[in-house]
Each structure stands twice: as structure tokens, then as C-alpha cells.
Chains A and B, each alone.
Chain A
């Protein structure tokens, strides 16, 4: 679905902020033989994969298998020891920090530990990327009213408009996760990285979070990488879509083609493939993550 098809009023974002989608031919994310080690520990061990605009990757793996490092190296928050990473066709590896800012401005990130600024209220947290990233992109500084408007929209998107002037510490874990999502998507990025969005949440809240991620993905055709421990999350990503007219999540065969699973073990990607391939895998480690209901 293209952004133009969004029915009036249901779009989470005004037309003016539809992201610049790169040409179909350049992969959104590309890893080539990436290695990262901390002393003896291989956090990433010859990792290669690539994904195209609008596609979804679900990354599964045990604790410490390198999932977070995969996301952090993708945006240059951690530099790999060797290999190449490209974002939107541009080289990340070897760039100076100052030159990475414009690339990162096109990516939204939900951090595993939240990463919400606890000295700022929710509204300021969500406004942060709007106020700080425009300078890098050399676009015009958004007016105060515009920022307010977009912060409200982003918070309405995650159904937390009433928390505008609370501090993160005053919210529940699930609410903080949703604020994190609002902050990640407020700039309408072409790529969003979610690090364990459902970890530590009850099943109902977890499904609400996945529904939000689907909504963001399907309303704006955002490329999505989601790290998770729950097979169920990947199953939802691969088989459901957000229906803008009903505002509900519904089964959709079309998601299956663009959703692929990666399973990580001790820094290596030991499996990459579609959901049926994942379910058919005979590797016992992979099977552990392919069981419905596995945690």
C-alpha cells in the first residue's frame, strides 16, 4: 500500500512528512561480513544480510546472542571491527560521528532499556528528535506550533495523549514502551528498529505494542527490524496487517512475502528465511524459537 492510499483523517502523520523513500533498487539495510568483538566475546560473527524498503525482519535469539549489537552497529552507535554496513545505500562503517547524524535522522529506534530522557517530560521526549534532527538534515526548523502538533499526533498514535506533561518515571513499563515508539516514529523515518519491544510485558500489553508496530509499518510502509524473544511477535508481524479503515489488525497473506526471520546464536546468524522455513528447520536451537508460545 502506498502512502497516497491513506484514507483522509486516519493517517497518523500529515502528508507533508511522508518519508523520502529510497529507490527500490538500493537495500535499506545491508550487512556484509560484519564482525564485532569485545575481547574474547564475539558479539557479531561474520553477519551478512540485507533488506529492501518496506520489508520486515524479525530477529530471534537467546540472551547475549548479539541482537542489540546488530541494531546498534546498523546505525553506527557501535562500530564493527570489520565488514561493511550500508544504510539506504550509504556506507556507515568508517564514518565519523558527525557525519552519521544525517543517516540516523532517517531511522527511528526503540531501545531495549527505553532510552527515554528521565529529566524531560513526555512531550519534550517526543519533541526531541524533531527539535534536534532538523539541524542535521538542514531542513527548516519546525515552528513551535508544528512541533506541538506532531508530538500530539505521535502520542495519539500510541494512545497516550493524556501523558504529555508527565515524567517517564510516572508511567508504567508498557506506557513507557509506547512513548518510546512515539518518539521513534515522530519524524516519520523510513526505517524503524525495535529492540525487544515486548520484553517484560504481559501478553495483552505485548500484543498492543505489536499492533502499534504493525500500524506504523502498514500505514507508512516503513522498513522494520524487530528484535524479540517471543515467536508470537514474529508470527503477528508475518501474518497480520493493520487495516486503516477499521483501525484493527487483520490476517494478511501479503505480509508473509516481505517478512523474514533471522535467528542469532553467539553472534552468528544461523538461520535466515521465511516463516514456513523457520517452522520446517531441524536445527534444535532454531526450533526452540519456532515453537508457538515459546518465550
Chain B
């Protein structure tokens, strides 16, 4: 009767198992430092441009839209505060993470998936390497380090985008914008602005690795794994952020 639940429960179980091993391996040797650096380069440097671009334009769009609403209250001077809070608390982490999910959860899943179907993962195990240690843990560490940094960049460029609108269209001085943007931020905002991308990074890396490592059914299977990795990690990003928000609001 509960057969339809069997598959998701099994998936979750396997996912937890993989995550457990990946975390445990962080504290075990051998450490593959080269692989960690390579992944940081792929994820960080590779996503830098698109994250910056989207960060900047989200600031621009937000300032434009908000300025109309604020104008009705004669509160256009608050534009810096609004852009700053929304970006740092929510939009920066979520946007950067969604972009990285799209670029890297898929990249990880398809790379590991191809390795799976061409029996490279089996070969690794046969030749004395733990594929979780060699493939999953480096991707987990790299994403967890790089995504918060990307988020900071996205936040900053979003503020620059907001300033661009404030300065060119709203008649707000530079010091007015930046000081209000900075002063409104509380310790709590910064914490959640960094904890979120850190958690999202873990989800992105592990979901990508999970679907990659569990690929079956040849090259078609690789395509399916890639799609699933992006969809599932994006959904979890929204689930996690909406679970965290009430926590931080009450702080």
C-alpha cells in the first residue's frame, strides 16, 4: 500500500548515507588538495561573471521598482536600506545559489554520471581509491567555501547597481546611499546572509554528487541525473530559505 513511498524513502536514505560519508571524509586522509583547488576554480571562477552580472542587475531592478513605491510615501531616501536588507538577507544568497545550482549541480551530476556509466567509478574502487573521498568530498568543500564568497560579491554588486539608479535617477547622494545601506545591516542580517549560502552550497554539492553517483541507464541516464540535480537542489534552496527565515526573524 505504501509502495509509492518506498522509492523516495530509499533515495533519502542513500542520500543521507552519502552525505555522512562525504562529511566524515573531511577529517580523514588522504586529502586531495589538488581536486579541491580545481573544483574551487571551476565553481568560483567559472560562476564569477554570471553571479556578478545577475547581482548587479538585481540591485538595479530592485532600486527602480522600490523607488516608485517609496516615492508615494516620500521616502525615497530609504532606497539604500531596502536594497541592502533584501539583498543581504535573501536575494543575494538565493540568486547566487540558484545560479550555482544551475551551473554546478548540473556540471557535477553530469561529470560524475558519465564517470559512473563508463565504469570509471568502479575502476576507482577497484584500483584502491574511495570515490567519495576523491570526488564527493572535494566538491563539497570547494562549493561550501566558494559560494559564500560569490554571495558577498553578488551582494556588493547589487548595492552598486542600486546606487547607480539612486545616483542617476533619484537624486540621492553617495554618502546618503552608502551610509544608510551599511548602517541598516545588523549582525543578524550578516550572519544569515552567510549561513544561507553555506547551507545551500552543501545541498548543491551533495545533490549533484548524489544524482551523479547513482546514475544508471547509459548516456540517457546522465541527462536525467543532470536535470534532477538542478531541479531538486533548486527546490531545496527555497525550502531551506523559507525554513530559516522565521528562525532569524525571531532573533
**A residues apposed to B, CB below 8 Å:** 72, 75, 77, 97-98, 101, 104-105, 107, 109, 111-118, 128-129, 132-133, 135-136, 183
Contact = CB atoms under 8 A, between A and B. Distances in A.
Interface residues of B, number: 13
Contacts of B123: 109, 111, 115-117
Contact of B120 (A101, A104, A107, A116): A116
Interface string B157-187: 0000000000000000000000000000000
A183 B122 CA distance: 14
A115 B118 contact: yes
B120 A77 contact: no
B129 interface: yes
Nearest to A77: B122
A111 B127 contact: no
B128 interface: yes
Q: Which 8 A-B pairs have the closest CB atoms?
A: A115-B123, A115-B119, A132-B128, A111-B119, A133-B128, A113-B119, A113-B118, A129-B127
Contact of B122 (A72, A118, A136): A72
Interface string B14-57: 00000000000000000000000000000000000000000000
Nearest to B111: A119
Contacts, number: 51
Contacts of B122: 72, 77, 111, 115
Nearest to A132: B128
A118 B130 CA distance: 18
B126 A107 contact: yes
Nearest to A72: B122
Given A101-B128, A133-B128, 5 more contacts: A77-B126, A115-B120, A115-B122, A129-B127, A136-B128
A128 B118 contact: no
A198 B172 CA distance: 75
Contacts of B124: 117
30 contacts: A75-B126, A97-B125, A98-B130, A104-B126, A104-B127, A105-B128, A109-B123, A109-B126, A111-B119, A111-B123, A112-B119, A114-B118, A114-B119, A115-B119, A115-B120, A115-B122, A115-B123, A116-B118, A116-B123, A117-B120, A117-B123, A117-B124, A118-B120, A129-B127, A132-B127, A132-B129, A133-B127, A135-B128, A136-B128, A183-B127
